[in-house]
Amino acid sequence: MKAVTPPHTSPVVGIDTLDDPRLRDYANLRDVSLRKSLEAAEGIFIAEGEKVIRRAIEAGYPVRSFLMSERWVDGLRDAIPPGVPCYVAPPADLARVTGFQVHRGALASMARVPLPPVGEVVSGASRILVLEDIVDHTNVGAIFRGAAAFGIEAIVLAPRCADPLYRRSVKVSMGAVFSVPYARMSTWYDGLGALRQLGFDVIALTPAADAEPLPRVVRRSRRPALVLGTEGDGLSARWEGQADVRARIPISPAVDSLNVAAAAAVACYLLTSQD
């Protein structure tokens, strides 16, 4: 393996072994618990694919290093900041380090930046999403992507909601996790009450048959906060009870519920269609 550098100021760094500590940022990318602790300890996340890497850099996240196969270097060369190493390896070595076939060929280790407080993120927003304890990183990424597509201005996460900067979320979102502002609540218990005090109409999305049809609810809502529940059990009783209104996307009685990311996309579209 070798390290290539852009034409400007980066030093050339040789990598002789796959155990090189400089590759530690990229180790075992499929091992969720290892990655969670490593990324939290190091304050990093992994961006994958040229488009997503460029979007992360444009959004202002500092890059620690790149790891890619030779064929991606020219395409990304102009995006490599001075002094940042770019490690290059054959695809088989990439797979050995990361634990999977890196189809999009390029990875970047990026530094996290502190999240703003909820109040700051939602101030000035006229429509937001609130995610309670979504577990699946794919769903988080897909929700951000749909939110960006339909003009949602901010997303608020419950304290235990999965991390939007986990590699899978970042990838599925196609970088929307960098463009839709988000914040994490510090407390779950009074989280919705705080949003109401900030002037939002808190709308709990549930497939329950006794909830009001969402199209009717969005027509009268001035500043909607659409609240989505976890994949298995849906919204907690506390949050459903705290909402101003419970609303459902009408679906066939033959189907229990929508996937949470699909529900989010439909609900966001309904908001957009009021414009």
Ligand X SMILES: C[S@@+](CC[C@H](N)C(=O)[O-])C[C@H]1O[C@@H](n2cnc3c(N)ncnc32)[C@H](O)[C@@H]1O
CB atoms within 10 A of CB 62: 13
Please provide the distance, in angstroms rounded to a whole number, between the alpha carbons at the two ends of the chain: 54
Could you tell me if residue 100 is left (phi over 0), alpha (psi between -120 and 50 degrees) or otherwise beta? beta
> Contacting ligand X (CB under 6 A), which of 106, 180, 260, 270?
260
DSSP for 75-86, please give it.
Answer: HHGGGS-TT--E
Nearest-approach distance from CB 182 to ligand X, in angstroms: 17
Distance of closest approach, residue 149 Cβ to ligand X, in angstroms:
18
The region of 51-59, 150-158, 164-172, 245-253 touching ligand X under the rule CB under 6 A is: 245-253
Q: Say whether residue 249 binds ligand X (CB under 6 A).
A: yes
Considering the complex, what minimum distance in angstroms separates the CB of residue 212 from ligand X? Answer: 11
Considering only residues 178 to 237 of the shown chain, the ones binding ligand X according to CB under 6 A are 205-207, 228-229, 231, 233-235
- CA dihedral (155, 160, 161, 165) in degrees, to 10, reads 90
Token code pair at residue 209: 């048959």
Question: Of the two residues 149 and 258, which places its CB atom closer to ligand X in the complex?
Answer: 258
Residue number, 53 or 130, with CB nearest to ligand X: 130
Nearer to ligand X, 121 or 249 (CB): 249
* Residues near ligand X (CB under 6 A), total: 16
Cβ 233 vs Cβ 205: under 8 Å: no
- Continuous H helices in 45-136: 50-58, 73-76, 91-98, 118-122
Task: State the chain's maximal CA–CA distance in angstroms.
Answer: 64
Q: Smallest gap, in angstroms, from Cβ of residue 60 to ligand X? A: 31
Shortest approach of ligand X to residue 156 CB, angstroms? 14
Cβ proximity to ligand X, 85 vs 229, nearer residue? 229
Residue 45 or 182 having the CB closest to ligand X: 182
Q: Of 84 and 217, which CB lies nearer to ligand X in the complex structure?
A: 217
Of 98 and 242, CB closest to ligand X: 242
- Closest-by-Cβ residue to ligand X is 234
Question: Cα separation of 259 and 212, whole Å?
Answer: 19
Torsion of CA 190, 192, 193, 196, to 10 degrees: 160
Which residues of the shown chain bind ligand X in the complex (CB under 6 A)? 205-207, 228-229, 231, 233-235, 248-249, 251, 257-258, 260, 263
